[in-house]
Amino acid sequence: MISAVERALELAKSGDYQTIIEIERELRKEGFDNVLEHLDGAFTRRQLMAAMKAANLTELKVGHMQNRISGKSRG
């Protein structure tokens, strides 16, 4: 079984979540217990923030490139 921290990192890397609170909610929905205790460490929170940032930057780049390919660039 996957740990709460591993699943949180998967969620963060998905690009579907903007905050740690959203990830915590999803983990609870998925049945993980003691979510706050698992994600409370400063190192873990930094990892999650970095993963979300990287996923969102990748998503922005892909979206920008798709717009350029389809001729929807604004300038």
Per residue of the chain (75 residues), give pLDDT as tens. Answer: 899 999 999 999 999 999 999 999 999 999 999 999 999 999 999 999 999 999 887 665 555 455 555 665 444
Task: Name the domain count of the chain.
Answer: 1
How many angstroms separate the Cα of 72 from the Cα of each of 29, 60, 67? Answer: 38, 14, 5
Q: Cα dihedral angle (11, 48, 16, 64), rounded to 10 degrees?
A: -130
Domain membership of residue 9 as a residue range: 4-70
pLDDT score recorded for residue 75 = 47
Q: Does 75 fall in a domain?
A: no
Please enumerate in sequence order all residues whose Cβ is within 8 A of that of 56, keeping only pairs 6 or more positions apart, or say none: 15, 18
Q: Does 20 fall in a domain?
A: yes
Q: Does 53 fall in a domain?
A: yes
47 Cα distance to chain centroid: 10
The Cα 14–Cα 57 span in angstroms is 12
